[in-house]
Amino acid sequence: MKFDTPATTNPIDTGRVVGQAVDRIDGARKTTGTATYAYEWHDVAPSPAYGYVVGAGIGKGRIRAMHLDDARRAPGVLAIVTAQNAGKLGKAKRNTAKLLGGPEIQHYHQAIALVVADTFEQARAAAQLIRVDYAPEKGRFDLEAACCFDSKPKKDAIPDTSVGDFAGAFAAAPVQLDARYTTPDQSHCMMEPHASMAAWSGDEVTVWTSNQMVAWAREDMATTLGIPKEKVRIVSPFIGGGFGGKLFLRAESLLAVLGARAVHRPVKVALTRPQIPNNTTHRPATIQRIRIGANRDGRITAIGHESWSGDLEGGQPETAVMQTRLLYAGANRMTSMQLATLDLPEGNAMRAPGEAPGLMALEIAIDEMAVKLGMDPVQFRILNDTQVDPEKPERPFSQRHFVECLRLGAERFGWSRRNPRPGSMREGQWLIGMGMASAFRNNLVTKSGARVGIDSSGMVVVETDMTDIGTGSYTIIAQTAAEMMGVPLDRVVVRLGDSAFPVSSGSGGQWGGNSSTSGVYAACAKLRQTIAERAGLKAEDAVFEAGQVRAGGRSVPLAQFAGVSVEDSIEFGELDKKYQQSTFGGHFVEVAVDLATAEVRVRRMLAVCSAGRILNPKSARSQVIGAMTMGVGAALMEALHVDKRVGFFANHDLAGYEVPVHADIPHQEVIFLEETDPISSPMKAKGVGELGICGVAAAVLNAVYHATGVRVRDYPATLDKLLAGMPVVA
């Protein structure tokens, strides 16, 4: 199905199932422990061996020699896989670093060996016996040094932008802001570690893994092994969190395949928690400079945003300036991204890549500008709203209810009770602050397919390689099929995460829910037509309801069409070029800051989201409150600390890398605007899973500023940074 004209009235508009806050259909399996995750497969490949990954002990250099004899003689050891005996390996196009290093070492904890043994304990013990002689080289581990403000590091392919005369307009502006902000390296810290089990059957391999993008993993595994992708099967039905960290083929999957080939047995491999930050990907640190010029009435006349980040050779920048190109009006504009080559582990996508760290800077800058102007922060943002792409005024937004989000949020949060003077609100020893920030994330859509049919019992069966990373994919796909085929939700079976199924959008970038359900919509539309024709009914008149199809006074049960199955996919046309498609929101936060210790307590949070049709408000709310919680972590505690002597993240576990817990977040409220976007997709939906984190960190720190008068521009806002500016307690 080609989607190239705005969606009109269609079967899902009835809202009988789609749009309802139903429980997750996979919830019982997850709560009873019967949902099978990557490391838990048993019967499908009996008697697996176990692999333990050995990571490089230097951040840059070469391996002179690896001494493996002691490890080979250890009890239970079956094989040791290294770059020397793994055979020729290609480089997957989506990986910046080699998944199996040696002799060259690109980053700390790059996998250099896999020890395979009968038990996990034997593999781990033997791995400790491997001795490696390194030839260390001087590496580049410091973003500040590689990317200082006056330098021009290596440019990435994404071009700078310029509209009007930014430099002239900024210089002439009566009110100016020129500020520098930094965001640190961050880790995904998903609950389930990277894990895989592989088994060969002849020249074909099956990998049970934890991966968000099944089709990408299959393609990249085949490329790396140098075999046709038809020889690779990827199975990933349940994923215990990803946040972008499982978008790509990772070392444990490849090593499980290589280990299984070496020992002629299934092999399980999981990364230990300390290996994950350094071996896999992370959100890269940024240095950002924001300049804003405005008239005294508050209208922005010049806005410029520059960002510096680092990655391995051949990597990509953190696209932290992209939201600044679209969020606020202003005739004179400039954005620039610079990329430094660093020898740190690979920087790549983490929840809301680009917008999350970009808004951490931009939304503090907007708050600072409001203070300079003596304006209310909400009103300043509303004043500078735009209904068209500021860089291309001829291109309108498909929908833009940004102002409605801010006004409704301010009303529901009680913003009018806020005394604008910093430090003026107090309860005993606690300074009280209220802050807010805008939320923005582009609506991304991508081709997605599905197979839908009727089985022998009359159940509607949906198969697609779409994944569920805890987001509720099973449920919204079932809701779509139930609505389209006119059956109750319990008459739908959904099968996900298998490369034997039609290729979907996969889960990532906030595109998964909208795109994958649109693919199911397309397949169901084809099935409806097929069934109507076989029933001798006019397809355009057929009504699917209560397990029946009827038209012209005739009614036929769907069960009569057992065995009928069709495939189709949604392909998106040029609407995204004619209309700017984005999602919007407003975040409001209240904090209390201890006057003596600077301890910050988040007391309440509100998010108002504009994201098209919400397919399941219950699971969507879960997505947003989780994202809000991640935003609190980014604001107050999360940072990977680089040991700049040897080039690794020192706090590489959940003891040293702190994240918020339930007790840190006492009250969260989420409001979804009631809307549909016919330009976005036949579902008239948009993504919402990443919108929830965009702007949250800035809202927290704007609240901290309001409570204390201390402005923190270098994330996270740890106690030392706050205490340095806090008033002295008598």
Catalytic positions are 690
| Share in percent of the chain as helix, strand, coil (round to 5) | 30, 30, 45
CA nearest to 581, candidates 725, 444, 394, 424: 444
Cis peptide before 716 (omega within 30 of 0): yes
> What's the one-letter identity of residue 481?
A
User: Cα–chain-centroid distance for residue 687?
Assistant: 11
d(C-alpha 467, C-alpha 498), whole Å: 9
Say if residues 326 and 579 touch (Cβ distance below 8 Å).
no
The answer to whether residues 704 and 433 touch, using CB atoms and an 8 Å cutoff, is yes
Q: How close are the terminal C-alpha atoms of the chain, in Å? A: 71
51's enclosing H/E stretch is: strand 49-55
Task: Name the H helices within 240-389.
Answer: 251-263, 275-279, 355-373, 377-383
As a whole number of angstroms, the distance between CA 677 and CA 7 comes to 8
- What counts of helices (H) and strands (E) characterise the chain? 17, 32
Residues forming a β-bridge with 452: 462, 566
CA distances to 30, 119, 250, 270, 698 from 264, rounded to whole Å, are 32, 15, 22, 19, 53
- Residue 719 contacts residue 599 (beta carbons within 8 Å): yes
From start to end of 106-265, where are the E strands?
111-117, 131-136, 161-163, 175-183, 195-201, 204-209, 232-235
Radius of gyration in angstroms for the set of CA atoms belonging to the chain, rounded to a whole number:
27
Which distant-in-sequence residues (6+ apart) come within 8 Å of 411 by Cβ? Answer: none
Specify the residue for token string 């949250």.
696
